[in-house]
Structure 1
Amino acid sequence: MASADLLLHPVRLRVVQALLGERTLTTGDLHAELPDVPVATLYRHVGVLAEAGLLEVVGERRVRGSTERTYRLVTEAASVGPEEAAGMTPEQHRRAFGTFVAALLADFDRWVDAGAAAPGGLDAARDGMGYRMTGLWLDDDEFAALVADLRQVVGDRLTNGPDGERRRCLLGTVFLPG
């Protein structure tokens, strides 16, 4: 199954997103992060992702007569490459983008819900949460340089791990021609 086919399912995309940032989680941990997903459904989709090589087992332990596995995202396998994207139909692109936006909205809703329940309520500045759309005038070379710069800036921070001070942040990017 191609990466796009795997990732176009909303539950599988949410599982992948939960593991972003070099996280290792059990299915129990995943269920705690995705409580609206029935356990059997979650196990089925984790199994599909693991069988396809998007998730790898990094630990196992016995828990009450069964084996609990800890998973890690295989980041390179969990993305749609340029060749695969070039072969997608317009409808597949629409579906992929819609799934991406739905997952982004779900993450936003979780932030809003958590903030509304937290002492002090929602505080975008405190949480470092923001969204904006900016129009840029760029030729092809300038656009390529922008993408390279962003990859460098983000890439420099991809190896950061949790250390008690850091918190996990999700960065979503969308480039649309104007």
Structure 2
Amino acid sequence: MDPTELLLHPVRLRIIHALSGGRLRTAGELCDRMPDVPRTSVYRQLGLLTEGGMLEIGDERRVRGAVERSYRLRPDRPTVSPEASSAMTSHDHRQGFAAAMAVLIAEFNAYLDQADADPVADAVGYRQATLWLSPEELDTMLTGFRDLIAPLAANQPGPGRRPYLISPILFPGEKPASPS
């Protein structure tokens, strides 16, 4: 399965998020983290992600006669190439967007279901704004955003850190009317 197909699935995306930052988790821990997903689906998606080169087995141990595996993201995991992205059809983009939104909703619900969830203290945000930008201004904004986020994306889990899911969504609205 190619990386685009692997990543255009909400359960697989949730597993990838759950393993980010070098985390090592068992299938049982992933099932506990995603109680809305049937256990069989989690196991099936773990198998697909492992076969597809996204995950690797980081540890194995015997538990009551069975082998319990812990999974982690492969550092050399495949990504969606710019060529593959540009070859996506409108249907593929709709599917990818729907998967991303399903993940956001599921992860947000999981956050709110925590007994100590505090959206104000945790600086939760989900605002939308319309920006009127020329192509040059858009490029400047995107470059600045990448420059700001890239060093932070390299952070690993550590004391005082918790994972924050950031999901920028950007698409142009209607085309402005031509001046008469």
Q: CA deviation at 1:100?
A: 0.8
Q: How many residues align?
A: 173
Q: CA deviation at 1:15?
A: 1.1
Structure 1: which 5+ runs fail to align? none
For residues 98-113 of structure 1, the aligned pairs below 5 Å read 98-113=98-113
Match of 1:31 in 2: 31
- Percent identity at matched positions? 41
Query: Higher helix proportion, which one?
Result: 1
Match of 1:151 in 2: 146
Secondary structure at the residue paired with 1:99?
A: helix
Match of 2:155 in 1: 160
Contact 1:16/1:78, CA 8 A, preserved across alignment: no
Contact 2:58/2:71, CA 8 A, preserved across alignment: yes
> Aligned pair in 2 of structure 1 residues 132, 79: CA closer, same or farther (>3 Å)?
farther
Report the Cα distance in structure 1 between the residues aligned to 2:66 and 2:136, rounded to whole angstroms.
55
Match of 1:126 in 2: 121
Amino acid paired to 2:170: F
Q: CA RMSD in A?
A: 1.9
Amino acid paired to 1:67: V
Secondary structure at the residue paired with 2:4?
A: helix
What are the Cα deviations for residues 39-74 of structure 1, in whole angstroms up to 9, with x where unaligned? Answer: 222111101100100112222222222222222223
Q: Provide TM-score, normalisation by structure 1.
A: 0.86
> Aligned pair in 2 of structure 1 residues 74, 150: CA closer, same or farther (>3 Å)?
farther
Match of 2:67 in 1: 67
Q: Provide TM-score, normalisation by structure 2.
A: 0.85
Match of 1:4 in 2: 4
Query: Highest Rg: 1 or 2?
Result: 2
Moved over 6 A (4+): none
> Aligned pair in 2 of structure 1 residues 161, 146: CA closer, same or farther (>3 Å)?
same
Does 1:140 find its partner at 2:138? no
Match of 1:52 in 2: 52
Q: CA deviation at 1:78?
A: 5.7
Amino acid paired to 1:142: E
Report the Cα distance in structure 2 between the residues aligned to 1:169 and 1:134, rounded to whole angstroms.
21
Match of 2:80 in 1: 80
What are the Cα deviations for residues 5-28 of structure 1, in whole angstroms up to 9, with x where unaligned? Answer: 112222212212222233221112
